[in-house]
């Protein structure tokens, strides 16, 4: 193994970081987090934020490291994953652009909301999993794989800080500010989704399905 194999891929890092962060939409999820943790103390909310991010990290990393083996066993190609992931992201983008009432329904009694629905599927949803798997697939060296892991860690770090200080951020941005950010995120996510689908279809045209 040469030193070049350990070099970080800044382009891949940036693409993975931005994509995962946009998909998770930390600012847009502030109302959901505040609703699900209503009645919790400040320490309880901090614990819920840490648990949710930890669960999301574990789920996404699991698929990032072993997801390709699952695809191989099922006979699914990378292009199929790209198209499927892109279509899923379109649905998520539509939810961000046109949020529906009741998204943040209260959790059942006795349920740890940090695990479900915060950790998964809110954070570690199909979009984030597919995007991370695709980024990991594009990593040609160990340095590239480390770049993806660092990008995921950075994105989850931003999500954790956003949840930790959700009350403060929510009071500053207000509902209108959060809605504005969510719509901008939705537009960016829609563009990412279209690019994923277009890339997958273009590869099918080039080499066949």
Q: What is the pLDDT of residues 2-44, one digit of tens each?
A: 666 789 999 999 999 999 999 998 988 898 898 888 888 999 9
Which H helix or E strand runs over 9?
none
- Alpha helices (runs of H) in 115-165, residue ranges in sequence order: 126-138, 142-164
Give the global pTM: 0.82
Burial 54-87 (b: 16+ CB within 10 A, else e): ebbbebbbebbeebbeebeeeeeebbebbbbbbb
Residue-level pLDDT, tens digit, the chain, 209 residues = 666 678 999 999 999 999 999 999 898 889 889 888 888 899 999 999 999 999 999 999 998 989 888 888 988 887 887 788 788 878 877 877 776 544 444 444 557 888 988 898 889 987 888 889 889 988 989 999 999 999 999 999 999 999 999 999 989 988 888 888 888 888 888 888 898 889 889 988 888 77
* 192's tokens: 């990412």
The structure tokens 């930390």 sit at: 26
pLDDT of residue 152: 97
């Amino acid at each position: 193994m040469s030193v070049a194999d350990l070099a970080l891929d800044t382009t891949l890092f940036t693409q993975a970081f931005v994509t995962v962060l946009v998909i998770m939409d930390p600012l847009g999820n502030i109302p959901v987090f505040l609703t699900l943790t209503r009645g919790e103390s400040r320490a309880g909310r901090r614990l819920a934020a840490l648990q949710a991010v930890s669960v999301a990290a574990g789920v996404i990393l699991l698929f990032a490291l072993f997801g390709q083996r699952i695809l191989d066993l099922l006979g699914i190609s990378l292009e199929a994953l790209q198209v499927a992931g892109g279509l899923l992201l379109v649905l998520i983008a539509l939810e961000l652009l046109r949020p529906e009432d009741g998204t943040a329904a209260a959790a059942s009694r006795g349920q740890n909301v940090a695990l479900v629905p915060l950790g998964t599927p809110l954070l570690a949803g199909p979009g984030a999993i597919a995007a991370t798997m695709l980024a990991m697939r594009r990593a040609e060296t160990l340095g590239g794989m480390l770049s993806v892991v660092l990008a995921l860690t950075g994105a989850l770090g931003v999500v954790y800080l956003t949840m930790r200080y959700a009350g403060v951020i929510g009071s500053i941005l207000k509902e209108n500010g959060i809605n504005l950010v969510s719509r901008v995120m939705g537009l960016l996510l829609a563009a990412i989704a279209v690019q994923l689908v277009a890339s997958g279809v273009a590869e099918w045209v080039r080499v066949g399905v």
